[in-house]
Structure 1
């Protein structure tokens, strides 16, 4: 379990390294490539679904972009959305699988739990990284 200096806690894989990036915090696999990104947007001003729709406009410009899912949902009792897609990495040329669960907390802050890995390594039935993050996530770091 990572108790992050930004105030949240989340279960991450052993050996993964924290890499802060502005309003986002990455937990990256030691082997490179795979990472879990936590995004925090205070006073979000829009729903997670609307935010994802805006972000998707930019994502569509990536080579090989294909939406797998973009749906409104409820996460931790709050309104949220899930966005799942694939794209081709500019750096490696490999197909990447990405999945993002976001929600707006009671105080108006949007939290996003985003995971990406090589497409050929993604197996939803055997997923440990993203499912662990979703199961253990606590915005208040408890």
Structure 2
């Protein structure tokens, strides 16, 4: 897309950083829309950092975590990456049109977790899903895929 060789592509917020890095401008050189049929939904993916028990540099790690969680760090990082702040007190004026669109959606739309990012299903189901799709890519057997997914859902307690 950056080279102008295609009309559109399905991407996540990470693509924004690539556009910015290429010196492209929101609503001038590129735009965005929700995926068809997803109006009223915001796919939520949250990244997090933790302090491991017994970490060798606990003080340094806590300092780093404080910085990363600060308003200043989030206001500096997120405009470059394309993501929105985890904090709700960040200054919206420091963000462009895409970010403000995303912040509005996050505030008003249904938050939807994803299986692929580990927030919408148990880990054993996620692994079985990945395995079943890998097999499907090779054999193209829709019935076998459906059966494998139904069995995985049942085994993980994920089905109703």
**Shared fold per TM-score greater than 0.5:** no
Query: Which structure is higher in helix share?
Result: 2
> Which bracket does the TM-score occupy, shorter chain normalised?
under 0.3
Q: Which structure has the larger Rg?
A: 2
